[in-house]
Every structure is written in C-alpha cells, then in structure tokens.
Chain A
Amino acid sequence: MKRSATVSDILQILRHHSIELQKRLAISPLQLTMPTDGKGVRIKVSVQQGQQHKLPRMIEFPLGDDMLNVPLEVQEDYQEYKLLHLQSRGL
C-alpha cells in the first residue's frame, strides 16, 4: 500500500535501513537524521556544498508491505564527526 511515512516509519528506516537508503540516494558523504522540531515528519539529509540539487524532496521507500512517501530535507551542512578523546606524545 502506498502511504506517507509516519514518525515510526522514519525511525525504523533510519535505525534498520539507513545503508539501503544511502545507497539509493547515491551521494557520499552524507548524514541522515530525523529532526525533532515538530515541523513535519521527514528525514534530514546533510550533504556537502554543491550537492543539494542532486537530491529530490521526496523519495519512495519500501517498508514491509508498504511503499512509503518519505519527505527529505536536504541541507548543505555536512560536518565530519571526530572521536572526542585527547591524545598527545609524552615526554
């Protein structure tokens, strides 16, 4: 059945199918998250500069027996994350 993705669907996609989604979006690097601002159920896609136009605003994604319409919010705000320990050479 075709339907709009719910919050629960988005979480399930991101938790268990994020790699599959990334392959479908075919841009690297990128980061996927679900914003918690209440401004609509969507997946936020963070990409590098110049990549935003390459992605659609909506994607169809299969989940279980359903084909979901998943809104995408694409922002060019990709930032690399680093581990937060601190190291240095000794004496």
Chain B
Amino acid sequence: MDFGSALEIVTKYGLQMLTARPGSSVTAVAVGRKDRGSIVGATDFSVSAFVPKKLTETELRDAGIQSFSSLYADVVGAPPTTVKDVDVVETGSPFEPIVGLVIPAPQHGRYGGNPPTLDAQKPFASLRVGIGVTNPVNAYPAMLSVGTIGFYMRDDNDNPYLVSNNHVIGRSNNAQPGEAVVQPGTLDLTTTELQLMPTLAILQATLQVAEMTAVVQINFMTPSNIPVNTVDVALARLTNSSRSTSELHRLTYGGSIRAVAAPYTLDPTTGALQGSAMVYKVGRTTGYTEGIVTNVAGTAVLSYNGNSAYYANQIIVQDTSDNGGPFSNRGDSGSGVLNDRHELVGLLFAGSAGHTLVNPIDEVLQGLKAAAGIPNLTVITA
C-alpha cells in the first residue's frame, strides 16, 4: 500500500492493535516494508507489527493468540488487500525503556565529566580539527591545561602544521621553537595515564604530535603604551608520530573545512551582515556548536597571567537559542570558526557570558606567515 494509507492505519488503529485483546503479543506497530528494505525511496509499504517471537499458525492457535492479519481485519474493519500490506517482525524481546543508565564518574580524564559519544578530549589516532591539545613545557606535571586545534596548514615542502592560540600552545609568547605539543591535552588525561607518565619526558615521548614553530607575539599594555593586537595564534609543525595525517581537514564531528573565506561582508549603506550570519565551531569542550555574528570590529582587553593585552577588530559571536548551551567555553580556545558553508572564517580565543571573541581569519593567516617566515603557508582543506 502507499505510505499515506499505511500511516493512516497505524495512526488511527495502532493503539487498538496493541490493546485489542489480552494475550496479544504485539508490542509495537509501525509503517515499514515487508521485504525489510530501506524505506527511503520505497513506494510499497506495510503495516508492521513487532512481536518478541514469531509463532506458526499452530503455535498461535495453541496459545490462543490471534494472527496479526486477523487482528488487522478486526480492528480496521477489512482484511489486508494483499499479503504485502502486513508484516510481522520478531524483535527477540519486548521494547523496554532504557532507565537507570549510570556512567561511572570520572569516566574520562582525571577531572571527570560524562564524555559525548564522539569525544574530542581523547587521544586520536587520526589527527583532525577540533580536538584537545597542550604545550606542556614548564608546566607538566604540576599544571595541566588544554585548548583546541583550530585547523592545519601546509608549506611548499608539504610539511603539515597545526594552529591554535598563542596562549594555548605558545605559552603566551614564552614558547621556544622545538617545544613539544601533545594530544590529547594534559588536562584530559586520566589518573592512571598521569601516573604512567610522571615526567615531561615520558609524556612527550608518548603523546607528542608537533613541535613549536612560531607565535604571533602578543603585545602587552604598559603604563605608557597600549599596543593593538588582532590575533592570538601560534603554529606548530607536525612531527613523525604514530598519528595519521590523512584527514587534517576533517572536523571531529563530521564534515570538513572546505575553504577559507572572508569573515563577513557588510551592506555598505546599512552595515547589515550580508549572507548568513550563522557560524559554527568544533571545540574540545563544547563540541560542535552554532552561533550568530552580532557585532564586528570589536575591542576588548584580555588578561594573560597578570599582563593585559588590548585587542581590536574582533568578531563577536552570540549563542543561538537552538544551541542548548554556550557557543564556547573554557577549553575551546583555538577552535576554528566556520561559516555555513564550512569555510574557515576565524579563530576563537576568548569569551564572556553569552559572547565569544573570534580573530578574523585574514589577520590570523597574515600573522602566521609573517611570524613563521613562511609566506606560502596554506590552510589544509577538503
């Protein structure tokens, strides 16, 4: 039968089919296909009854259970037109709600939390965008930290690099070329992992994925001078680790960075954002989230361990109401920000309650090329 007819029968008579008589073994009724093929693209549908165990006619009779075809006829008021109009599916057991699911805490990472199904906080065999990362030098094991890998780049010699914030992997200007960068971030290690890697040397030998190449210097405020910063970014060259580098364009939660694009274009008369204002990011803490660009060319003062830095030309992103949570949170620093075509438009580095600051991508790339002295660095895209 056609989909509409099957749906009407299930909607109108489904409850009666489940409760028609005591001893009925039907536990669910739905629209399906008798040949169990995909319903996508199908044209011939059936009313499917789900039972814990399919019985022969003799077994049904002996058990005093009505066959589904007979039940269908009684409830609908007419028998199925063809045998393909009804189907019985054996499920093995009745449907039951999954209650009392308990996850031991902490399940992952010393500092606990219930990780999502696809967990950006764990070690990844194949490096990708949006996973946790740390520069542990001069910190581990006394201090643990984590940020996010925003995207990857390649130079003319095909050497790959990862990009995150200066305050994540660049130790806020203090990182030296060659310092190890590890994945996952040290804050995401379990107690057992921390105990198995008690020293920086062991940690680096086990989890290093890159070595520092360059930072774009953050210029701090002094009593007599307020230098203007526009990016908080650093570059680290991927090392010969056991990790695959075959899908560096890939986002942790699916899809890829497809290109690089201007962060925004504005109507020259009204200043309205042209095109979609929606942006997305994949980060270690909040995963895949969506936001909306509400302001541009923003200024802010950020604190870096007692030093203050003044930023201008920042993109301001606000959480959307559909997000179910913030666009970003602590640990998402370094996330690449994408437009609705998954084009890279910025690098996330700071936030307040409800808003996130994003460096515009053109300034990020310009700064990195100059700081690294590699003019032909290009973003790795799908």
A56 close to B (CB within 8 Å) = no
Q: Is the CB of A36 within 8 A of B141?
A: no
Chain A residue numbers with a CB within 8 Å of B297 are 10-11, 14-15, 32-34
Given the interface pairs A35-B271, A36-B277, A41-B270, the reply to whether A84 lies near B299 with Cβ below 8 Å is: no
Known: A36-B296, A84-B330, A85-B333. A18 touches B187 (CB 8 A): no
Interface segment among A47-55, A57-65, A75-83: the answer is A75-83
A76–chain B nearest beta-carbon distance, Å: 14
What distance in Å separates the Cβ of B154 from its nearest Cβ neighbour in chain A? 25
CB pair B294 A35 closer than 8 Å = yes
Quick one: closest B residue to A35, CB to CB?
B295
Quick one: closest A residue to B266, CB to CB? Answer: A7
Q: What 6 pairs across the A-B complex have the smallest Cβ distances?
A: A38-B272, A33-B295, A14-B297, A79-B352, A84-B333, A86-B331
B268 and A83 form a contact (CB under 8 A): no
Q: Does A91 contact B (CB under 8 A)?
A: yes
Do A85 and B168 form a contact, CB below 8 Å, given A33-B298, A34-B295, A91-B191? yes
Give Cα distance in the complex from A83 to B146, angstroms.
Answer: 12
Q: Are A82 and B146 in contact (CB under 8 A)?
A: no
The main secondary structure of chain A at its interface with chain B is mixed
A91–B357 CA distance with the chains assembled, in angstroms: 32
Given the complex, which residues of A lie within 8 Å of B298, measured CB to CB? 14, 31-34
Residues of chain B having any CB pair with chain A under 8 Å? 110-111, 140-147, 165, 167-168, 185-187, 191, 194-195, 226, 228, 232, 264, 266-273, 277, 285, 293-304, 310, 312-313, 316, 328-334, 348-357
A85 contacts B331, C-beta separation under 8 Å: yes
Q: A85 to B299, alpha carbons, bound, how many Å?
A: 20
C-alpha spacing A11/B194, complex, angstroms:
48
Closest to A17 in B: B312
A-B contact pairs, 12 of them (CB 8 A): A18-B312, A29-B301, A32-B297, A44-B295, A81-B301, A81-B357, A82-B352, A83-B232, A84-B331, A85-B146, A85-B334, A90-B186
Give the interface of A toward B (CB within 8 A). 6-8, 10-11, 14-15, 18-19, 22, 29, 31-41, 44, 79-91
CA distance A11 to B315 in the complex (A): 12
Contact, CB under 8 Å: A81 / B350: yes
The answer to whether A83 and B349 touch (CB under 8 A), given A32-B298, A44-B295, A89-B142, is: yes
Q: Tell me if B142 and A90 are in contact (CB < 8 A).
A: yes
**Bound complex: CA A34 to CA B294 (Å):** 9
Given contacts A7-B267, A84-B328, contact A89 B300 (CB under 8 A): no
- Kindly report which residue of chain A lies nearest to residue B351, judged by CB atoms: A84
Q: B167 near A36 (CB under 8 angstroms)?
A: no
Q: Which residue of B lies closest to A6 (CB)?
A: B268
A90 pairs with B194, CB closer than 8 A? yes
Q: How far is the CA of A41 from the CA of B268 in the complex (A)?
A: 9
Contacts of B147 in A (CB 8 A): 84-86
- Asked if A82 and B351 make an inter-chain contact with CB atoms under 8 angstroms apart, the answer reads yes
Looking across the interface, which residue of chain B has its beta carbon closest to that of A79? B352
Residues of B within 8 A of A37 (CB): 272, 294
- Chain B residues near A88 (CB, 8 Å)? 111, 143-145, 187
Asked if A81 and B296 make an inter-chain contact with CB atoms under 8 angstroms apart, the answer reads no
> Contacting A83 at CB < 8 Å: which of B140, B167, B295?
B167
Given known A15-B313, A36-B293, A81-B300, contact A86–B187 (CB-CB < 8 A) = yes
- Kindly report which residue of chain A lies nearest to residue B311, judged by CB atoms: A81
B312 touches A14 (CB 8 A): yes
